[in-house]
Amino acid sequence: MKNVLILGANGQLARNTTRVFLRDTDARLTLYLRRASRLRNPDPKRVTIVEGDVLDRTRLEATMKGQDVVYANLSGAMRQQAESIVAAMNATGLKRLVFISSMGIYGEVPGERYGSMLDPYRDSAARIEASNLDYTILRPGWFTQDDEISYQITQKGQPFKGHDVSLNSLSDLIVKLALTPGMESRHSLGVSRR
């Protein structure tokens, strides 16, 4: 039974993925977020809620002890967050990281130039790729709310295919990545509707 730490647990995709973890797996979850009173504990037997900022290294490291996998679902100051995560994982000996980024960070979306808007995503991905971690970076298309699970993956260096992807598709992939040893290790994946 794996212990999964979810950073930015009140995010839209993180909340959907928490639901899928609890429904489809026996993983134990630690939900790490700012202002924790916003989140109701969905299953107190399997879920621990920790109030914290990813930039708070002391709290982050303390929360990483005993975890197997880190799933980061963040926004905002992502370069600094990636630095904090990599340092805390190195300090605690944790290896497996699933990190949510965005399509477009390598200029891989045909006909689109996202410019400086994506700099925090580019910089955070570069920090993670320069680490020794067993990471998988996801570069999703635009999120949709529909139920279907249907997605295709493109590797770094390939043009991104498609445009959008359902939250349920992303959650399906994140759960598999978190619980399958070696799956897409040290890869950066474009993810879009098939």
Q: Where along the sequence are the contacts to ligand NAP (CB under 6 A)? A: 8, 10-14, 33-35, 53-55, 73-76, 81, 100, 102, 140, 142-143
Q: Are 1 and 28 in contact (CB under 8 A)?
A: yes
DSSP assignment of 74-115? --SSHHHHHHHHHHHHHHHT--EEEEE--TTTTS-STT---G
Which residue lies nearer to ligand NAP by CB, 12 or 150?
12
Q: CB 154 → ligand NAP: shortest distance, Å?
A: 14
Residue 12's SS3 state is helix
Residue 169's SS3 state is helix
Cα–Cα–Cα angle for 50, 67, 145, rounded to 5 degrees: 65
Report the residue number whose CB is nearest to ligand NAP: 11
Bridge partners of 187? 136
Q: CB 142 → ligand NAP: shortest distance, Å?
A: 4
Which residue lies nearer to ligand NAP by CB, 41 or 132?
41
Positive/negative CA dihedral, 31, 100, 187, 131: negative
Which residue lies nearer to ligand NAP by CB, 53 or 172?
53
Which residue lies nearer to ligand NAP by CB, 101 or 131?
101
Q: CB 44 → ligand NAP: shortest distance, Å?
A: 21
Q: CB 183 → ligand NAP: shortest distance, Å?
A: 20
